[in-house]
Structure 1
Amino acid sequence: MPEAHLRVTDEVGETWDDPSEEQIQRIYAGLNLRCRFLILERLDVPDDGQNYLQIRLNDDLTMVVEYREGGPGSHYRAEVPLSAERGGDEIVVPVLLGWASRREAWRGALPWARWDVERERPWEEHRE
C-alpha cells in the first residue's frame, strides 16, 4: 500500500489518509461545539518543520484558520467572522480544498497575519 500524502484529523482523533474533496467537505461539515477543530497535514514534505492547515470553531461558531509551512516564521492565521450557516463555509471550504490539492488561490481568500505564539494561543487548551 502506498504511503499517504495528506492526513486529516479531527478533535476526537479520528483520521483519514488521502481523503477525497467530498470527504474533506463532510469532515468539515461535521464540526460542532463538541468537535471544534480539524487538521489537514502534509505527510510528503521534507521534515524541516510542520506543514498543516487547521480550523477551529469559536463559541459563536465563527472560525479561526491557521496554517504553517515549515518553521515558526511560516505560521499564519486568519479569522472567519461568519458562521458556516451565514456564509463562513463559502470562505473556508475553498481554502481547505485548495490547500489540500496545492492550488495557490486559497492564499488570497483570507487576510492572513503572522501567528505570534507569545500573544495568541487559540488551541492551547486542546494540546497536551
Structure 2
Amino acid sequence: MAEPRLRVTDAVGQSWDDPSEAQIQRLYAGLNLSCPFLILEHPDLWDDDQHYLQMALNDDLSMVLEYRDGGPAEHYRAEVPLQSEYGGDEIVVPVLLAWAARRQGWRGALPWVRWDVSRQEPWSD
C-alpha cells in the first residue's frame, strides 16, 4: 500500500489518510473546545525535517495556525482573531485546503511570523 499524501489528526487522536476537501471542511466544522485542533501532515515528505500545518481554537474561539516546512528556521505561526461565526472560517478553511492540496499562494492569506518557542507556546496550558 502506498504512503498517504495527506494525514489529518484531531485532538482526540483520530486520523484520516488522504481525506477529501469536503472531509477536511467537516473536520474543521466539528472543532470545539473539547476537540480544539487539527494537524495536517504530508507523510510522503517525512524525513529528518517536519512538514505540517496545524490550527487550534483559543478559549475565545479565535484561532492560531502554525506551519513547519522543514527545520526550525522554517517554523511559523499566525493568529486569526475572528471566531468562525464572525468570518474566521473564511480565512482558515481556504488555508487548510490549499496547504493540503499543495497549492501555491496559501501563505499569502495570513501574516505569518517566525516561531520562537522560548516566547510562544499556544498549544500548552
TM-score, normalising length from structure 1? 0.95
2:21 is aligned with 1:24:
no
For residues 71 and 124 of structure 1, the distance between their equivalents in structure 2, rounded to whole angstroms, comes to 21
Give the partner amino acid of 2:37. Answer: F
The alpha carbon displacement at 1:46 in A equals 4.7
Alignment map for 1:1-128 (pairs within 5 Å): 1-125=1-125
What CA RMSD, in Å, does the superposition of the two structures yield over aligned residues? Answer: 0.9
The alpha carbon displacement at 1:124 in A equals 2.8
For residues 112 and 90 of structure 1, the distance between their equivalents in structure 2, rounded to whole angstroms, comes to 17
For residues 20 and 88 of structure 1, the distance between their equivalents in structure 2, rounded to whole angstroms, comes to 21
TM-score, normalising length from structure 2? 0.97
Cα pair distance change 1:15/1:71, threshold 3 Å: same
Unmatched 5+ stretches in structure 2: none
Unmatched 5+ stretches in structure 1: none
Aligned residues: 125
For residues 58 and 14 of structure 1, the distance between their equivalents in structure 2, rounded to whole angstroms, comes to 20
For residues 84 and 38 of structure 1, the distance between their equivalents in structure 2, rounded to whole angstroms, comes to 15
